[in-house]
Amino acid sequence: MIGKLNHVAIAVPDLEKAANTYRETLGAKVSAPHPVPAHGVTVVFVELPNTKIELLHPLGDKSPIAGFLEKNAGGGIHHICFEVEDVVAAGETLKAAGARVLGDGAPKIGAHGNPVLFLHPKDFFGTLVEIEQVPAA
136 has a pLDDT exceeding 90: no
Q: What is the mean pLDDT of residues 95-119?
A: 95
Q: Hey, what amino acid is at 96?
A: A
Q: What share of the chain is helix, strand, coil (3-state, %, to 5)?
A: 25, 35, 40
Is 0.85 surpassed by the pTM of this model? Answer: yes
Q: What is the model's pLDDT at position 62?
A: 87
Instruction: Give the Å distances, CA to CA, from 72 to 10, 11, 37, 45, 52.
Output: 11, 9, 22, 21, 22
Q: What is the CATH T-level fold of the domain 5-133, as seen in this structure?
A: 2,3-Dihydroxybiphenyl 1,2-Dioxygenase; domain 1 (3.10.180)
What is the C-alpha separation between 42 and 14, in angstroms, rounded? 11
pLDDT in tens, 17-38: 999 999 999 999 999 999 999 8
Higher pLDDT, 136 or 119: 119
Q: Tell me if 78 sits within 8 A of 58, measured CB to CB.
A: no
Catalytic positions are: 130
